[in-house]
Structure 1
């Protein structure tokens, strides 16, 4: 496989994820809307499953394309019959995408690299804060006592950090809770203990690893709004779960609500690479703790469903004209092989004694000229495929006929490579 095939495979994987991600987002939105009164743990599981599919589906599609040794030889993981015509059969924007596929991949790689650098800087900041800031023996003892009550068996370090306005949790093997130095003197001790109980709930559930995985998915698939929306729902439900655990541990939900209320008055910044007590919507969390049975469902929860459903419907709608055009063709376009040179056997493939049959697709215009082309079925050797394509694309064709009139349509040409 050459570099061009690799770039094209990545590019078409990113493009196909536009409709795949929309479908996943729509399914997750419907499920969460139906489960709006269910436990936070169940909604969290649904959202995590959706984000996992957002990564697994394009990954599987990329593997299929790489195995087929060509960007146009593997369809989507599911729904290929319905979607591939919209992406590959004669649409104007398909030609535009093919022409700029390398630029699309380059822009994606540049943005993903910038986000990866941002994530690395965040991890470096956390590591430096965890190792370089000062501790507090009295609060470390309180944290140890709370950890034992919460069932956390691993040692949990506490560090006081200047310039931070909300406690955050980082690390999995050696977890650490970063506490703003200002909170130690500016917040009543029993309220700060409530916030620490919330952080210990994250440590107990190993939420840091899931949060880190979220950042990886966001970095790779940053261009899709469904990814950010699903990831945001995961963080919201995770905060609700940690609130519930802390409230049960403290035996005082109002105490945690009061601590969050005090925290809301502070000017804080959120570090997405760590678990923070200020995550999610603080006022909704406070209301949920104080009045858990009075949360009426909002019509706004259905907005993502409507938007993603409309996007998915638009993708499938675009597939229909191309299919209808193919059905209306009475006579396929025919190639005039005297108008173009015979493909020459690539030297490397000749020496390796490669043989095979390649099936090529050509979009023939009203003037008989090829407008677009693709490899529909590989011979098994990229050199043979490209040699046949580059030669036959120069042939003139007799246009396809529909109701006796020339029309633009796709036609298939097979070329057999055989050593004598």
Structure 2
């Protein structure tokens, strides 16, 4: 080290060391400004956010270079002696800091140089490995090369892009700038539908059109220069995230349907659901899930402040509409009933529930406060419409969203109109109730009848639960799993959902009775679109998972007279494994699906209790 120190100019050492030290607070200021800008401009396009993030990284490097130049010129002109230099005339804290660090500037610079070389060599090794993959890859069928050329022309890319297959990659990747290639996992072309593959290819071609490979190389150099700087590393992560988001936007623009792209991402993640892929995904804070959720958000990156304000406005408008409508309802004559039950007139918004392709993501377990937002029906990334149920007609499956912890959930009380109670005199002819949507955070959809009769004795009969596997799951795993396995899963999950419902209603003070009880509310429930990511199939051992899967729930509550007064529907992912990826087996899968069922059961019991409590209030 002494030989190396003697070879370096002391003025150069002084300027380099203090420039690197000053870069810590300088880059922190730049990162703080960037974070503030990104927070207040979440509705901006990903391309603009990407450019601003790149500008922030360039600003950090520019400030570093400027500081080095000024310090070096000052040292040369003043002929500063680095060791023991007294830069300040006072005995303040800065004087003590300079005096303590100046004798060790050579060591600091040498440590930085070693770190820079290590990072640079690692990057060069990665580049060499990628080129080896490129050489060993094999061309795809000519049909897909023609499709790629057509997509390339659509994006106005001048370079020739080769489509290759490699057994050494687990996902699509792009490499090269002047002669770019796209590498596909071996066999992927036979595992995904054509529209999903085209959407994924558009994403990779977007990287080529934006020259991301070249920009990423320059970004790597800057990151290696300031590898020790947390602010710079955070800025680089923002650049990487917005780069992917920008390419996602281009892919969706040209493929025309975000469902194809989202389904492609989800299917690739599942096809390659092994330990290394899951650990890498968790290390990046589940960026894939965030990208999929972003595809189904109407205004990408809309600020949460704006979301909450809009939610409050919507809730206030809904309450006003309910009460205004209630004031206009003429009293109805109802069937004379004993004191045990009371007729309830409910006025809800009369507009049909919209069915947008894009929807805001549901609350996550990491954001308890997010459950106050209004949840709307979402489009499915992977699942297709499921088999029929005795509860409702089959529907397009919305995408799953992470489930919130029951303890963190804050239920939103239903806004029901306090309509005047008519005197029971003359019986009227029964007719099918009209169901209207009520927005709540715990379910994609809650439908409530405008009029219904409920008994005040809190008794509920839970009918046998049905379990339906998702069509796409059956297509992929039905031949790989035994019939006895599927039947056992259906029985076990039906029993667990039944127990969860019984426990939740008892916790609300209800009595669970036999279905023959004529004075009880009847609950029909079905677990639909069940998709277990890693079922027990022959030849698959020790599969590592971060999530167990996804499922939907469909429930209908009926009054003793058989009229449905409330339906609920929701689709969600199971929560992430709290302690990291775990081995998939029947017990692990059941553990996380059980939490999902308990969440749904608790929400259903709470809303049923609220409706019954309002019946009691109106009866008084």
Change (3 A) 1:24 1:159: same
Change (3 A) 1:11 1:120: same
Aligned twin of 1:219 = 224
**Cα distance in structure 2, aligned partners of 1:16 and 1:197:** 42
TM-score by length of 1: 0.62
Q: CA deviation at 1:297?
A: 3.6
1:226-375 residue pairs with structure 2 within 5 A? 226-265=231-270, 266-267=272-273, 281-293=287-299, 297=303
1:142-153 residue pairs with structure 2 within 5 A? 142-153=147-158
Q: CA deviation at 1:298?
A: 5.4
Aligned twin of 2:215 = 210
Does 2:104 correspond to 1:100? yes
**Cα distance in structure 2, aligned partners of 1:92 and 1:213:** 38
Q: Paired residue for 1:50, among 51, 56, 61? A: 56
**Cα distance in structure 2, aligned partners of 1:71 and 1:56:** 23
Compare CA radii of gyration and give the structure with the larger one: 2
Aligned twin of 1:343 = none
Aligned twin of 2:542 = none
Aligned twin of 1:38 = 44
Change (3 A) 1:243 1:38: same
* Alpha-carbon displacement from aligned partner over 1:61-101 (angstroms, at most 9, x marks no partner): 21223333449889xxxxxxxxx999997543322211211
Aligned twin of 1:345 = none
Change (3 A) 1:129 1:184: same
Structure 1, unmatched stretches of 5+, are 75-83, 272-277, 300-420
Higher relative contact order (CA 8 A, sep 6+): 1
**Cα distance in structure 1, aligned partners of 2:79 and 2:269:** 54
TM-score by length of 2: 0.43
Change (3 A) 1:71 1:12: farther
8 Å contact from structure 2 (residues 258, 296) kept in 1: yes
Q: Paired residue for 1:21, among 14, 24, 27? A: 27
SS in 2 for 1:154: coil
Aligned twin of 2:127 = 123
SS in 2 for 1:201: helix
**Cα distance in structure 2, aligned partners of 1:44 and 1:203:** 16
Does 2:13 correspond to 1:10? no
**Cα distance in structure 2, aligned partners of 1:232 and 1:2:** 34
Change (3 A) 1:87 1:159: farther
Q: CA deviation at 1:291?
A: 2.8
Q: CA deviation at 1:281?
A: 1.3
Q: CA deviation at 1:292?
A: 2.7
8 Å contact from structure 1 (residues 195, 259) kept in 2: yes
Q: Paired residue for 2:139, among 93, 115, 135? A: 135
Q: CA deviation at 1:246?
A: 0.7
1:75-114 residue pairs with structure 2 within 5 A? 90-114=94-118
**Cα distance in structure 1, aligned partners of 2:126 and 2:105:** 32
How many residues align structurally? Answer: 285
SS in 1 for 2:98: helix
**Cα distance in structure 1, aligned partners of 2:77 and 2:90:** 16
Aligned twin of 2:475 = none
Aligned twin of 1:195 = 200
Is the helix fraction higher in 1 or 2? 1
**Cα distance in structure 2, aligned partners of 1:90 and 1:49:** 31
8 Å contact from structure 1 (residues 288, 295) kept in 2: yes
**Cα distance in structure 2, aligned partners of 1:287 and 1:28:** 23
* Alpha-carbon displacement from aligned partner over 1:1-46 (angstroms, at most 9, x marks no partner): 9612111211111011011111111111111111111111221121
8 Å contact from structure 2 (residues 172, 182) kept in 1: yes
**Cα distance in structure 2, aligned partners of 1:284 and 1:213:** 26
**Cα distance in structure 1, aligned partners of 2:98 and 2:159:** 54
* Alpha-carbon displacement from aligned partner over 1:317-367 (angstroms, at most 9, x marks no partner): xxxxxxxxxxxxxxxxxxxxxxxxxxxxxxxxxxxxxxxxxxxxxxxxxxx
8 Å contact from structure 1 (residues 87, 94) kept in 2: no
